[in-house]
Each structure stands twice: as structure tokens, then as C-alpha cells.
């Protein structure tokens, strides 16, 4: 079968396109014929070796895909040939990736795609939606009525956080470019703040139960100041390097919680899948701007993904 793969970690030039062996269908696995694969920052981190994880060489790149069940292992349950399915946890921790014509996926990492949902829109959404779902439901353990501040809310993860926070009954404040205020209000934001404004300002008296900085640019000390008693700061990217005064964090019984989706458990991924599919059925979380390429152009997709840009589409490889 054809695949995009590497024989060692490194630059984009290491990505090859060619023939590799077809996957073997083990008893607890399902062979999926690939429809489309998304390319995210984490894919470039793994390919380059920046993110350290066990990978077998030659290594097929990519982790998020939508496809059609082609063959089922004799110990699997709940799947049949022809089902449209998705996975978002391949291509790391010793597992081969998904940028190939066929992929062997353990049944515990595979989920049905709701009927009528466009595969390309779905695969573009998976990484940011799963990050947001696990962050809110599992790491932040949000409760109805809590106040959340989402910084950098107009990005891919930020928009998913706003949409899901609305569905979970939270009061939402966001920071972003004013050009994005309208879309954020449509997604569910109650209040919007220009990201260039000093936060918290002298007139800022509101405190938050949860604060998420998706940009990695917000001042951590200021966020601690804006934290409610028992509040949680959720980190999905490193904060600017600085020395912080932990006294207010201590006196507020606050927490700083980091999250990397590559360390999500099978159970957390399953919970995220249930949340995502429920939203997909409602037509939500499917609003990404998508740029498609043929899967033989995986190296070009990685090059585009690595370019610095204020707003990038989601790059999707189609088969």
C-alpha cells in the first residue's frame, strides 16, 4: 500500500511517499481504509523528534483519521465492514500512524462517525475538539455555572473551548482580536476582551473559576490574580518564563494543571469521543476553515503547518 513515512526523525525532507507493507489485522484490531487525515502541530513535533515518544521505523506519520471499516478482528465488537469510523490516538507511543491507504487500529481507539457528518470537517476538528473536551470535562472538572476565561479564544482549540463551555453551562469570557468578537459571541461567549488590553485592568473585579491560556502568551501572575478561591488554571502550552509569587495561589487554594493530549488515557479519549460525537450530531464543532491536499503531498502539509501565521486553516490529506 502507499503511505507517507519516515525512516528517522528530522526535517520535512525526511518524509517519503511510497510502498509499505499492508497492516495485519490482529484479533482485537480493525483494518480501516483511510478517507482523510489531519495534520496538526503535534504531528510535526513527532516527525522532527521534538516530542519524544517511542516510534517504530519505518514510521507512518499522522494520528487523526476518518475511514471505512475494511476488515475486523475476530475478538472485536460493535463494528462491521462498511462503518464510517474515526481515531485520534495513533502515530505515537509505539503505534504506527495513519497517513496510509490502510490502518490497523485497536478497537479501544476507534469510534463511529455519526451519520451525515462530513469526514473532512470531522477529521479537521478532532485534535482541537478532543483537547477541549478532555480539558474541560476531565482535567478542569467543570461545573454548571462556573466562570471561565479563555485566552486566545479565536484559535482552533479556543473556539472549541468556547463552544463546549457553552454547552456545559459555563459563563464565558474570552480574549482575542476584536475582529473575532462576533464569531466568539455566536459560539457562546458572554464577554469579550481585546487581547491587547492589560489584564486584569484596574477596573477588573471579576474572578474566574477556570482560566485557560491557549496562546502561551498570557501573564501567569496576572492569571493567578484573577483566579477565584478554589480556581484552576489549565495549561495546554508553556507560559512565558518568569518567576511567580505563589502566595496568592496558595491562599486561594488554586491549582495550575497542565495537559498534553498525548498522555490522555483510553478512558479520557473515550469520554472525549462521546462528547465530540454528541456535538457532531448537533452540527457543532465543525466550523474549521479547511485546506485539503492529496495524501502524497504530506510533506507540503507539514511545511504549511510549520509556517508562522496568525490564522491557519486546518490541513487535511485526502485519499
| Chain segment 19-72, per-residue pLDDT in tens | 999 999 999 999 999 999 999 999 999 999 999 999 999 999 999 999 999 999
pLDDT at residue 308, as a whole number: 78
Domain boundaries in the chain?
Answer: 2-117+287-318, 130-261
pLDDT at residue 201, as a whole number: 67
pLDDT at residue 240, as a whole number: 83
Q: Which CATH number does 130-261 carry?
A: 3.40.50.720
* CATH number of 2-117+287-318, picked from 1.10.3720.10, 3.90.79.10, 3.90.180.10, 3.40.50.720: 3.90.180.10
Average pLDDT, the chain: 96
pLDDT at residue 34, as a whole number: 99
84: burial class by Cβ within 10 Å (0-12, 13-18, 19+)?
middle
Q: Is the pTM of this model over 0.85?
A: yes
Strand partners, 255: 232
pLDDT at residue 235, as a whole number: 95
C-alpha pair distances (Å), 181 with each of 162, 176, 188, 238: 12, 7, 11, 25
pLDDT at residue 60, as a whole number: 99
- pLDDT under 50: residue ranges of the chain: none
Amino acid at each position: 500500500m502507499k503511505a507517507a513515512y519516515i525512516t528517522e526523525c528530522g526535517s520535512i525532507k525526511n518524509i517519503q511517499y511510497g510502498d509499505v507493507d499492508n497492516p495485519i489485522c490482529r484479533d482485537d484490531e480493525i483494518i480501516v481504509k483511510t478517507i482523510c487525515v489531519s495534520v496538526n502541530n503535534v504531528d510535526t513535533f513527532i516527525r522532527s523528534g521534538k516530542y519524544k515518544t517511542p516510534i517504530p521505523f519505518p514510521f507512518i506519520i499522522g494520528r487523526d483519521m476518518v475511514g471505512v471499516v475494511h476488515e475486523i478482528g475476530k475478538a472485536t465488537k460493535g463494528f462491521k465492514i462498511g462503518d464510517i469510523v474515526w481515531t485520534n490516538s495513533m502515530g505515537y507511543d509505539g503505534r504506527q500512524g495513519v497517513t496510509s491507504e490502510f490502518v490497523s487500529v485497536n478497537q479501544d481507539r476507534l469510534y463511529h462517525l455519526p451519520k451525515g457528518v462530513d469526514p473532512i470537517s470531522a477529521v479537521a476538528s478532532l485534535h482541537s475538539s478532543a483537547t477541549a473536551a478532555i480539558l474541560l470535562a476531565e482535567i478542569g472538572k467543570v461545573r454548571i455555572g462556573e466562570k471561565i476565561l479563555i485566552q486566545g479564544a479565536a484559535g482552533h482549540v479556543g473556539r472549541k473551548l468556547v463552544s463546549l463551555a457553552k454547552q456545559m453551562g459555563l459563563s464565558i469570557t474570552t480574549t482575542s482580536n476584536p475582529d473575532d468578537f462576533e464569531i466568539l459571541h455566536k459560539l457562546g461567549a458572554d464577554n469579550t476582551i481585546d487581547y491587547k488590553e492589560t489584564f486584569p485592568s484596574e477596573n477588573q473585579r471579576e474572578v474566574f473559576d477556570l482560566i485557560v491560556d491557549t496562546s502561551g502568551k498570557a501573564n501567569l501572575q496576572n492569571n493567578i490574580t484573577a483566579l477565584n478561591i478554589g480556581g484552576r488554571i489549565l495549561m495546554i502550552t508553556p507560559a512565558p518564563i518568569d518567576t511567580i509569587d505563589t502566595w496568592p495561589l496558595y491562599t486561594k487554594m488554586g491549582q495550575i494543571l497542565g495537559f498534553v493530549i498525548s498522555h490522555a488515557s483510553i478512558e479520557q479519549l473515550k469520554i472525549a469521543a462521546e462528547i465530540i460525537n454528541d456535538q457532531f450530531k448537533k452540527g457543532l464543532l465543525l466550523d474549521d476553515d479547511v485546506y485539503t491536499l492529496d495524501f502524497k503531498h504530506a510533506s507540503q502539509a507539514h511545511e504549511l503547518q510549520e509556517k508562522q501565521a496568525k490564522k491557519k486553516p486546518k490541513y487535511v490529506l485526502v485519499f
